[in-house]
Structures are given as C-alpha cells and as structure tokens.
Structure 1
Amino acid sequence: MKSLLITFCLLASHAILPGALANSLKIEFTADDTFSIEVARVEVGDKVEWLPTNDGHNVEFLAGPEKFLAPKKSDIDAHYSLVFTVPGVYIYRCTPHGDSGMLGLVIVGNDFHNLERIKNIKLSHVATSVLQRLIKIAESNKI
C-alpha cells in the first residue's frame, strides 16, 4: 500500500510540475506607443500578460503558426493574457496604433518555422519598417 501511495504521489507531481514551471511575462503599453518588450521569448506553456499602463492601447494578433487560432482582440485599456501552446513566431499590434508601428513579436520555443509567413504580412509602410527591425532583433538572438 505504501509503495502504491508513493507511486501515485510521483505520478501526480509529474502531472502538476509542467504547469507549475510555466513562466509569466509582463508587457506594458508605453507612453510612446510601443510595447515595453517588442520581441518576447517564451516557452510552450508560458503566459504573456499585457498591462494597460497607458491609455488608448490594446492587443490584436495578426498571425502565428499554422495551428494558431487568433484570439479575439482585447478591449482598449484592458488587461490581456494568453498562454502560448504552439511553437512559432506570433505578430501582434495595438489596433489604433499598429499602422504607426506599435507591433510586437512573440517567439515561442525558439521556433522560427513560420517566419516567412510573418515577413509577408501586409502592413503600412511604417509598420513594415518596424517589423523588419523586430525580425532582425529576433534573428540576431536565435539560439
């Protein structure tokens, strides 16, 4: 009976442990219409939270890996969070300020398999320039 209890406890701790090890990354909306972390790196299972530290901003995902279903965009000035379960590159923007370059990337699991898809997204001239800069940052830090 004691060995059965020990086995159960080990299995239960293994089932709980992956979620317990998940991290949370906090990104703020800045006063100069950018995200405090423009290129975020997380692992599968990690949560990213966007904090409304300045007025007039939200989060809207434009694209991600093939299996990614973009969630509904957040409300303006609202806390927003997402747990990333699919590896790859994700692009998001602030809806009101996206055309002026308020973009961000999330790299999940250091997986760049869908980067070409992200590079080919149709954006304004200014936003395209910002995206190119963010991609250079992301690629320069590949592991």
Structure 2
Amino acid sequence: GILHFIAVASLLALPLVARPRLALGLGVALILLGMHVSHPFFDQPWIHWLGLMTHKPTTDDYVPIVPWLGVVLIGIAAGHWLQGPQAQALRRYTIDHAPARLLAAAGRHGLIIYLLHQPILFGSVALAAAP
C-alpha cells in the first residue's frame, strides 16, 4: 500500500537527494518505463510491486515502484530547483493568511491526517446510516 511505498521510496531515493540532476533523469526514465513497458513475466504476484505487469492487481491501495518512484525523484529535483536562485520570484509568496497556514500545517502533518481519515469517514458513514 501507500505506506509501504513511502517507506521503500524514502530508502531508495535517499542516495539521490544530493544529486538532483541524476534524480530528475531517473525519475523521468521511471515514469516513461511505467508508461511504455509491461510484460506477462511481471504478472506474477511476488513482483507486482514493481508495476510492470500487464494488468492492475485487484486492490485500491496499489502504489508500485514504477512509475511512482519517478514522481518522488522528480520531486527531489524540484525541491533543489525551488531552493536555487532561479526560483527567486516564487519566494515572494508567503504564508501570511489563515487558509495558506492551514494548508501548510496539513502538509507538515500529512501522515497523521492519512491515518485518521479512515476512522473518521467510517464513523461518519456509520452515524449517517444509523436508524
């Protein structure tokens, strides 16, 4: 699921944090690989996690390494770019009003929100469906 992907992607991406150009190149390559390569060999359940199978497994929480690690790697490159001088114009936008501060706080606490949203949704549905 998504939590497994986040853990694995964090470990795989760590060596590329200091190499944004390589991260960008590999990220684009992984996305293109995911868009254009599939093979029945990868239909075996033990390697579904790679993402190169010919059909999606029957689950709603499927986040394969290919292509999604590519998105993480492009994010590393984007983070470096946003810290460089070429993104100076973007820095003038600050978080000085309540909706933006709320959105920033949600971004900093995304895992907690992710873990809490299901019990809240299930509880809401149970209350709404109760006679």
Q: Is TM > 0.5 for Structure 1 vs Structure 2?
A: no
Greater helix content: 2
Q: Scaled by the length of structure 2, what TM-score is found?
A: 0.23
Greater strand content: 1
Q: Scaled by the length of structure 1, what TM-score is found?
A: 0.22
Q: Relative contact order, CA 8 A, sep 6+: which one is greater?
A: 2
